[in-house]
Structure 1
Amino acid sequence: MTRTMEWTVDMELVEEGGRTKAEARLRTGNSTLTGHGSARCNPGDVDVPAIGDELAASRAMKDLAGKLMREANREMEAVGAGTVPQHTGPGYGWPEAVS
């Protein structure tokens, strides 16, 4: 069976007072999930708005991904299937640096 789906993610970014807030909305056709993220500029750092945008947006997408995984786990449990093991280590970086 072949299926083709199209899901849309909308990202809204708002900068105010040295803080960037992001909201990522995933629309699947059947439901909408929302993730949130934020970033702030350290007062001692050079203000580069693109960096705040990238940090806030990536954090919103990470939050959204977690919500999507939890929803998939709930649905798998509802039909009697096992869930996906949760990763407990660092999400990114060099593994040898935290060993």
Structure 2
Amino acid sequence: MTHTWDVRIDLFEASDVPAADHTTTTAHAILSTSAGTRMSGTGRARRRPGETDVPEIGDELAAARALRELADRLLAASSADISEIEHREVHLAR
């Protein structure tokens, strides 16, 4: 049996202040499971004034942080599900 889970990552870039020399990239990672469960994670990356403008780096960093948050939420949900079945507190390793 095969289950397909989809992860979508939306990236948004904005200047913190109009005409500023820095930008913030925000990523939203959304997991949709074959059972209809949805979870999300958010990550941010900020280019500081004077740093070289390489948008792909900001995208990569924000996406990685969003996926890390999503992974942590998925582990927490798994831990809660196991705890409910076993009637004891369970902590899963990262």
Please give the alpha-carbon distance, in whole angstroms, between the structure 2 residues aligned to 1:34 and 1:45.
30
Task: Please state if 1:61 is matched with 2:59.
Answer: no
1:20 pairs with 16, 25, 28, which one?
A: 25
Amino acid corresponding to residue 76 of structure 1 in structure 2:
I
Structure 1, unmatched stretches of 5+, are 88-99
Q: What is the percent sequence identity of the aligned residues? A: 36
Which position in structure 2 is the counterpart of 1:5? 3
Please give the alpha-carbon distance, in whole angstroms, between the structure 2 residues aligned to 1:62 and 1:13.
15
TM-score using structure 1 length: 0.79
Please give the alpha-carbon distance, in whole angstroms, between the structure 2 residues aligned to 1:63 and 1:76.
20
Higher strand share: 2
Please give the alpha-carbon distance, in whole angstroms, between the structure 1 residues aligned to 2:4 and 2:80.
22
Q: Paired residues, what number? A: 85
- Given that 2:43 and 2:64 are in contact with CA atoms closer than 8 Å, whether structure 1 keeps it comes out as yes
Moved over 4 A (4+): none
CA RMSD of aligned residues (A): 1.5
1:31 pairs with 32, 37, 42, which one?
A: 37
